[in-house]
Amino acid sequence: MNPVLSPQLALVILLVFGLLWVGFGYLLGKNNRTLADFMLAGRNVGLALAAATAMATWVTSNTTMTAPQLTYQLGVWGMAGYSLGAVGLLLFAPLSTRIKTLLPSGFTSGDFIRLRYGNTAWRVFLLISFFYALGWLISLGMAGGILVNALSGIDYRTGMTVILIVCVAYTLLGGLRAVIATDFIQTLIILVGVICLAWMVIDKVGIHSLHRAVQDRRPMLLNLLLPASIMFLFNNLLFGVGEIFHSNVWWSRAFAFGEGVGGKAYFLAGLMWLPIPIVAGFIALAAPALGLTVPSADMVGPLVAGEIMGTLGGVLVFIVIFSALASSLDSLLAATADLITQDVYRGHINPAASDQQCHRAGKWIIIGLGVFTWMLCYPRLTTLASLLYFTGAFVASAIWPVVMGLYFQRPNAAGATLGMIAGTLSGLYSYFAIGFYVAALVSCAVSLAVMLICIGLKPEQFDFNNLREDKST
């Protein structure tokens, strides 16, 4: 397949936007005085930036590239099912408010699990979190290299390296403040880019003629009773909820948002995210009307954009995908570095560490994570890219320990620990024995059952004030 963009033009775009993000990170980093400034952007982020960062982080390269691919493979349910990923953001809205109320001085999701369930559950949770974060980091790093290569012909390793260096640099310079501010601009770019592309498709092809062409040539894509699509819908829903509920990417934002902002921000972000996979996915359905031969489904979006808008379409897709990648990669780098700094360095290695030492350690950890991700992405092993799907079994096991622990007194440490372990193991078993689409479902159900049994056997009377008593943060 021919790239839709010349390597020179793609390199110029990468450099211009890369310099813009890094410069922004540098400027914003100058205001960081304390550890809370660096890790949590001062704990008082307003609604506009909060809603934009929540939305942009959830719009990854997957949303902009996989939504068209899934629509091309699974039809209308592919795009509608993908848009249900918004449910995770919407459901996290009330949790975010509860988190900020219960842990006003918390730093990470690990803080909550440690204070609510004790050290054993905390360590199991950290393993799940790190495994997931690693899977997401590798999938983003590799997606960066692969997409840059597919769109412009730039060597995979060059593209992957440039994207990683840019994201590490501005996260390092500006901390969460830079991540959130760049997310705002990246959100606007993603939204405007997707709108322009969809508008051009409607203008050049028309919705009715597009529908007619699909009905004539690939009618199954319009079938509302496609079983594979319906199964995909449920798995995607649960996987998304598990990802958001447990991951420090979302918890650190709940801590960073100002008083009364978190709930509104996550709700707005969910509403804004909801139509994006439909709009991005719809572009793919223009392929039959345009008479395009699609060599691989994952390139259908850029192909349609290139066909309709020529070089301008290629540039637009490239900028949208770069923004989507950067907005997720920077958040993940910052949140994972926070988790390692707070829960591993301060929690296990140096409990007496001052805020200043943690600040310094956090910066080294961001660099280390960047280098580690680069090393794992360098060989371009496809098995590594599928790691993210594998983590569905892990993250879904943490849904109930988080939700029940936040709202009810009776869940106990044994239930949370065993629930996460049994949920993960059964999810993994079903992943291999049945298929990827049941891993999250089984893991979530088993974890719930184990927690309920433990509550029945030995209910706890947890005092939520204990969550406020953590002085280490």
Partner 1 sequence: MIAALLISSSAFSTLIVVALALTMLSPLLLLVLMWLDTRSDRLW
Give 34's Cβ-side CA count (13 Å radius): 7
Q: Residue 212 Cβ, how far from partner 1 at the closest point, in Å? A: 7
- Say whether residue 115 binds partner 1 (CB under 8 A): no
Positions in 37-66 near partner 1 (CB under 8 A): 41-42, 44-49, 51-52, 55
- Cα(156)–Cα(152) distance, integer angstroms: 10
Residue 170 CA, chain-centre distance (Å), reads 18
Of 155 and 259, CB closest to partner 1: 259
Q: Are 57 and 243 in contact (CB under 8 A)?
A: no
Q: Name the packing angle between helices 86-102 and 47-58 (round to 10°).
A: 130
- Cα(103)–Cα(378) distance, integer angstroms: 39
CB atoms inside a 10 Å sphere around CB 216: 10
Of 73 and 129, CB closest to partner 1: 73
Site string for partner 1, 62-91 (x = CB under 8 A): --------------x---x--x--------
Binding segment toward partner 1, per CB under 8 A, in 111-119, 183-191, 244-252, 423-431: 183-191
Q: Are 199 and 356 in contact (CB under 8 A)?
A: no
Q: Taken in order 316, 319, 321, 323, is the CA torsion positive or negative? A: negative
Amino acid identity at 193: G
Of 222 and 297, CB closest to partner 1: 222
Q: Residue 125 Cβ, how far from partner 1 at the closest point, in Å? A: 30
Site string for partner 1, 12-41 (x = CB under 8 A): -----------------------------x
| 242 closest CA partner among 425, 91, 103 | 91
Positions in 269-328 near partner 1 (CB under 8 A): 271-272, 274-276, 278-279, 282
3-state secondary structure of 34: coil
Site string for partner 1, 185-224 (x = CB under 8 A): --xx--xx-xx--xx--x----xx--xx--x---xx-xxx
Amino acid identity at 402: V
Of 157 and 264, CB closest to partner 1: 264
Q: Residue 349 Cβ, how far from partner 1 at the closest point, in Å? A: 31
Q: In the numeric block, which tokens belong to residue 143?
A: 């997606």
Q: Residue 142 Cβ, how far from partner 1 at the closest point, in Å? A: 28
Residue located via tokens 């056997």: 457
Of 7 and 275, CB closest to partner 1: 275
Q: Residue 284 Cβ, how far from partner 1 at the closest point, in Å? A: 12
Kindly state the number of chain residues that form the binding site for partner 1, as judged by CB under 8 A: 48
- Cα(243)–Cα(346) distance, integer angstroms: 25
Of 28 and 134, CB closest to partner 1: 28
Among 184, 255, 267, 322, binds partner 1 (CB under 8 A): 184
Of 202 and 376, CB closest to partner 1: 202
Angle at 269 between CA 105 and CA 108, to 5 degrees: 25
Which residues lie across from 257 on neighbouring strands? 45
Of 205 and 414, CB closest to partner 1: 205
Of 165 and 271, CB closest to partner 1: 271
Of 76 and 90, CB closest to partner 1: 76
Q: Residue 80 Cβ, how far from partner 1 at the closest point, in Å? A: 8
Q: Which DSSP state fits 292?
A: -
Note the residue count of the chain: 473
3-state secondary structure of 257: strand
Of 15 and 207, CB closest to partner 1: 207
Q: Residue 10 Cβ, how far from partner 1 at the closest point, in Å? A: 25
| 65 closest CA partner among 140, 10, 121, 132 | 140
Q: Are 418 and 371 in contact (CB under 8 A)?
A: no
- Decide: residue 372, CB within 10 A, 0-12 exposed, 13-18 middle, 19+ buried: middle
Contact residues for partner 1, defined by CB under 8 A: 41-42, 44-49, 51-52, 55, 76, 80, 83, 177, 184, 187-188, 191-192, 194-195, 198-199, 202, 207-208, 211-212, 215, 219-220, 222-227, 258, 268, 271-272, 274-276, 278-279, 282
